């Protein structure tokens, strides 16, 4: 089921990788740009008909649900990616991005539910668009680590999408409805390009060539010919065994602590600075 890369020209490899970078840069880190988006929403009149305490509480809920959706969707996302492949996964993320943008743009500004739902969908959409892009690092063989570093850098920069929102709001007086309608076009771009160019199965690096036959010491040859019964690696064991393992518990605890720390900082740094 592995799709080899030997028949893909270098030009097509760079085209696919640059397209993947654009997906990650434009559409993967929205949930972490809340600090820049919050002033735009306030200036655009979101929850303006409510009292200050309720308004602040709802703003916090939007950020919390967006970041929580971004973090908690990873497990089902992995299952979907393994089962249906990069194309379907990215298409789902693109549709979620478009839906989230339309809800944020068109919902009533005093509705206490739809803005939370919209930002929650944006939070989920990011990983669904980002994760299928990592497989393109396999197109570059020994330079896989460098390709992965570029994709991670694009993810870090993607948190600045809502900084661009803020600048457009300040310089051109564009409100959040106009900005989110424009941002829905990014979802449409991801939908079209992933539907056309993303594979149904992940790209994989070609396996190493087999060792040359013959030669060498006869005893060494016999030793190498004997079957080796190494215990299976954890990644080759059934899913329920992996989930119940100590390494999985350690990694889950480690990531949970740091995701909580990061989410708490991003959700509260704006109000802390203002106060």
CATH number of the domain at 58, please: 1.20.1250.20
Q: Specify whether 74 is located in the same domain as 146.
A: yes
Q: Which of 190, 206, 222 is the last residue of a domain?
A: 206
Q: Average pLDDT in the 146-172 region?
A: 93
Q: Specify whether 263 is located in the same domain as 198.
A: no
Q: Tell me the two tokens of residue 128.
A: 């669904």
Residue 227 lies in a domain: no
Residue 25 lies in a domain: yes
Separation between Cα atoms, residue 273 and residue 135, nearest integer Å = 39
Residue 1 confidence (pLDDT): 41
Residue 1 lies in a domain: no
Nearest CA to 134 among 1, 24, 10? 24
Q: Average pLDDT in the 232-239 region?
A: 78
Q: Specify whether 77 is located in the same domain as 159.
A: yes
* Phi and psi at residue 36, to the nearest 5°: -80, -30
Q: Specify whether 199 is located in the same domain as 258.
A: no
pLDDT band at 235 (very low <50, low <70, confident <90, very high): confident
Q: Specify whether 183 is located in the same domain as 244.
A: no
Q: Specify whether 199 is located in the same domain as 240.
A: no
Q: Specify whether 263 is located in the same domain as 165.
A: no
Residue 83 lies in a domain: yes
Is-contact 94 149, C-beta < 8 A?
A: no
Domain residue limits at 83: 10-206
Q: Specify whether 61 is located in the same domain as 128.
A: yes
Say whether pLDDT at 262 is over 60. Answer: yes
Tens digit of each residue's pLDDT (9 = 90 or more) over 39-50: 999 999 999 999
Q: Specify whether 63 is located in the same domain as 145.
A: yes
Say whether pLDDT at 38 is over 60. Answer: yes
Which is it for the CA torsion 147, 152, 154, 155, positive or negative? positive
Residue 57 lies in a domain: yes
Q: Which of 168, 188, 206 is the last residue of a domain?
A: 206
Predicted model pTM: 0.80
Domain count, the chain: 2
Q: Specify whether 249 is located in the same domain as 138.
A: no
Residue 2 lies in a domain: no
Q: Specify whether 268 is located in the same domain as 155.
A: no
| Residues whose CB falls within 8 Å of the CB of residue 168, separated by 6 or more in sequence, listed in order | 174, 179
Q: Specify whether 58 is located in the same domain as 169.
A: yes
Q: Tell me the two tokens of residue 219.
A: 């005893």
pLDDT band at 2 (very low <50, low <70, confident <90, very high): very low
């Amino acid at each position: 089921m592995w799709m080899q890369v030997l028949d893909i020209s270098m030009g097509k490899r760079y085209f696919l990788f640059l397209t993947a970078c654009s997906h990650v840069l434009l559409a993967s880190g929205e949930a972490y740009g809340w600090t820049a988006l919050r002033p735009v929403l306030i200036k655009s009149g979101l929850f303006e008909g409510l009292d200050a305490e309720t308004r602040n509480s709802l703003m916090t809920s939007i950020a919390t649900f967006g970041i929580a959706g971004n973090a908690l969707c990873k497990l089902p996302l992995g299952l979907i990616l393994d089962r249906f492949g990069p194309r379907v996964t990215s298409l789902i993320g693109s549709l979620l991005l478009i839906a989230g943008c339309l809800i944020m743009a068109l919902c009533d500004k005093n509705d206490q539910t739809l803005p939370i739902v919209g930002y929650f969908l944006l939070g989920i959409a990011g990983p669904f668009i980002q994760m299928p892009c990592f497989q393109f690092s396999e197109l570059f063989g020994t330079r896989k680590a460098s390709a992965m570093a570029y994709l991670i850098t694009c993810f870090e920069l993607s948190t600045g999408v809502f900084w661009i929102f803020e600048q457009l709001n300040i310089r051109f007086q564009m409100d959040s409805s106009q900005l989110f309608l424009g941002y829905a076009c990014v979802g449409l771009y991801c939908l079209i390009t992933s539907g056309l160019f993303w594979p149904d199965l992940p790209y994989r690096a070609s396996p190493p060539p087999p060792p040359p036959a013959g030669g060498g010491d006869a005893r060494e040859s016999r030793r190498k010919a004997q079957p080796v019964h190494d215990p299976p690696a954890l990644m080759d064991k059934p899913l329920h065994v992996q989930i119940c393992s100590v390494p999985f518990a350690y990694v889950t605890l480690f990531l949970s602590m740091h995701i909580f720390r990061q989410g708490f900082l991003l959700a509260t740094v704006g109000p802390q600075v203002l106060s």
